[in-house]
Structure 1
Amino acid sequence: MFRRRLTLVLGLISTVVVLAALLAAASLAVTERQVLRGRVASDIATGFIQLSAQKQRLRTWVAQMQQGADVDMGVRAELLAAMQGTMKRLEGLTQQAIELDGSAESREEHLRRRETLAVLAQSVAGLVRSVENAQPLPRGADAREAWEAQSRVFDMAQGQDVRKLIAENIARETAAVQRERAAADATLSVVRWLWLGAAAVLAATALAALLYFGRALRQPLHLLSEGARALQDGRLSHRIPLSGRDEFADVARSVNALAAELEQHRARESAQRQRLEDQVAARTQELADALASLRQADAQRRRLFADISHELRTPTTVIRGEAEITLRGVDKPAIEYRQALTRIVDTARQLGSVIDDLLAMARSDMESLSLTREPVDLDELACEALLQARPLAERQGVRLGEAPPRTGRHVVDGDALRLRQLLGVLLDNATRYSKPGGQVDLDVSLLRAEEPSGGPATVQLQVHDRGIGISAAELPRVFDRHFRGTNARRHSPEGSGLGLGIARSLAQAHGGKLVLDSDASGTRAVLTLPVATTTVISRAPA
């Protein structure tokens, strides 16, 4: 009984809502079209004003140039491009205005606007040719005659005064803007009253339905609510006193039967729920522990593979490059073969040390590296690093600067193999991310403390390239593991983003620091290490 009446009322309300929605959609489309017409008219008026201003600026520029003033040729190109862009935008807006309003009343206005744009297009084309050929007035030339010639070019086109033409169009477009605004206001007023009427009809229908069903449903709903509260409070012996053949009586009988059944099964359901909750909690904890272990193992595996791929690439490249250069061309003296083999042995020893470190990291998950400290001459180490980087530089088409002189004053306490690895990373990055024909320089200098108590002296090693550079936004993240900048990925797709992070770790392990500075001219890596406290130099075995 209630279902049939409720369906009828809901169908009536739905019909009113659908009609209101259709009315809203239609009025919205009309309003949107009217607003768009007003916006296009405003843009056209603004375009004519911009064209007039750009033309006046270009005229001033030509006058300054003819008078011999120091002018910027880029300003001329910018103004010409701006005028041409304004013309294209006006043509597009004119076409859009025709599409939005094709009535017979607006046809004459569209035709006059097109004619004006045709005259202005010819005027702009003549201005482009005249301005591009403009030259400073020769000494003794008549400035008045030059100004009149310039005025003819800027102010006349097809026998019409361009200034007057633009002013008339600005006035006409301003009037069109006002007209479209008035039309938009009128349309909004009509739409407002239509929506208010639809809302009033819908509100009246909903209020009538509310009053009717409120009276019919108050008593049954009150009894059903009482029964529901009794069930919620746990009073399962409560029964809803509703009889009859309507929907509410059927619900009351069902609720009463449910209360009786719930009273029988409450204890058993509670016990089963408790057991299930205990089992779910235990299984959830086990799964969380297993997932954490899997994530940790996967992270260690990825980090190890990335370190291996990066750390093994540079030494193997150096070994292959040395061998290729040695075998290239005619036979060489034995001393050259011995020197090449010596460098290959040094690099192989470095490679072995890297492999040992990677294996230690894989076994114990330790990222710290053991160091064998001894006095190391950075001048000699820099010369060796440049020799090792030379094969890669030749393949990249990059020039390496001269090796620093061996002064014997740039001695630090450190591990020669680790420091060679650090310099190899810096030279490898500088070479790989330099453009063909560029140059990479390596300098070593001694920095004295400014005050007696200001700390020990330091040795500063700089690797400077003229490469692709690093953006200011990405520079703070270059030492992050697996981070590669946009320019680096575009220049060289291969790479893991581990080198600089490992290099900084090695610098910190030696008590120093590594910083990067980059601009449009290239990137500069600055390594600072404390000077050795002893002067007896131990060199890495060849």
Structure 2
Amino acid sequence: MRSRGFGTVGRVSPQEPVCMFRQRLIYSLGALLAIILTQSLIALWAFDAVNRQIDHSRSSQQMLTELLEFRADSKRLKVWLAEYLITEKQETAPRDELFARMLGQLERLQALSATASDPAQPGASPAIHASDANIELLRGNLENLQRALQTREINRLETDAARWQTLMELFDKFQGTDIAELVNESVKLQQQRTEQADDAARRALRLTFISLLVSVGLALLLFLALSMRLSRHLNQPLERLLAGTDRIANGDYSQPIAETGAGEFAELARRFNRMASAVQQAETRQRQLQDATEDRVRERTAQLQEVVNQLQQSEARQQRFVMDISHELRTPTTTIVGEAELALRSSAADDPRRPGLEHIVDCCRQLASRIDDLLMLGRGHHALVSVRLQSQTISAVYTHVGDRIRTQVAHHPVQLRIQPLATPTGLDPERWTLLVDLEKLDLVCRIITENALQYRCQSEQLEVAGTVMDEQLTIELIDQGLGLSPEEIEQLFQRHFRGQRARAERPDGLGIGLPIARSLMQAHDGDIQLLPNAPAGARAVLTLPCFEPED
């Protein structure tokens, strides 16, 4: 069934491009990518410029350091010359070391001069040429002075004053240039170049900062503009879609989503309306199927209820019939047993009728046992397993169980041995208590004792043992009879199941005693287990929880 609201949805014009919003988004992302690339290029250029200015500044600092060391070494050489003339020292190693060090300083100055200045700076080329010319003059002066001292031309002069005058002229003058003034001029020139390099580095850093700041600002402005534009194109269609989804979530299919706006959003609204229409139709079909299913379920439930009532009535009639038959059979059976026992007591030991009377008594007792089983079935499972618990001491319960078993085996040719109650952990059985229903516990004892008597296989030994340990009473009935098959132990507690050995020994059993016994023990929060006994027979183990007496 088609919705009234979704049957007349609008259509987008075929001339409208479907990927309009996608193109805008691609253009915006492309613009952002271009800005990012531009910022990256600006950052690379600024990084290169700053590194270049830093290298120039570092070279200028090194040249200044070399000039200062050269000036210091020239003063040390003057001191050596004075000592040489005054003391006439013949040791020339300090002089040669100074000459070698000063020549090395000039070579390093020549190498650093090429990188100390930025050719792009105004006036850089004349400064570089002036610096190179000064270095060449200093090298020529130093070589001339070294040659004069090594060729001993000074020694040809007659007086020390003449020698000193000649050495000072060689030391301070070269090609009409004052060497001291030349050195000071070079130092001053290098200081100016160092300051210029530092200024250039600072300007490069400032330019880099301004460039990055401007590019970031432009990128931020463009990002804000694109964000506002995209959000303006996104906000209204999304609000319409959200409002439509809320209406559909609340079950309102009467108003479709307007198919307007950018091509993508219009197509999305169209498909969403189509989906909502399909959902509405599916819900309508589901509701119809649900109504039809509920009608059929109600019809079948009524039929099943009628069948259940009939079964309950039939079961009730069956239980009444079983109870009536059991009561009707119990009276003549009891009479026959009594008459047969009376006849046995009054007959002589060699009376030929005695074996027949004993067989009658045995058969009537078996019949009485089957009648009791029928009575239990007639009461129903709920009536059987419902218990009325009362507090009893451990010793009283154990004595009651022993007496009950002793009474049941009194008419059978077996020897019953009841062991004293064992308390390995020192619990006082006269103070600790159990919560039991003695009547239902008697029924459990009757079931396990009857099984032990029926499947004793000519054995005449039965034993009852009791142990109190870990706040639990354990009662065991041990026989030397037929025994158990390990694979059938758990199945013995299923209703109407009987093992192969038991069916072979006594085919007349119903298989309901042990399931009833387990239900009764579980109603006491206890349990019953059947375990093999070595070398033969079985052990029926009953467990009941014990409770500490209150002060």
Q: TM-score range by the shorter chain?
A: 0.3 to 0.5
The alignment's TM-score, normalised by the length of structure 2, stands at: 0.35
The alignment's TM-score, normalised by the length of structure 1, stands at: 0.36
Which structure has more relative contact order (CA 8 Å, sep 6+)? It is: 2
State which structure, 1 or 2, has the greater radius of gyration over its C-alpha atoms.
2
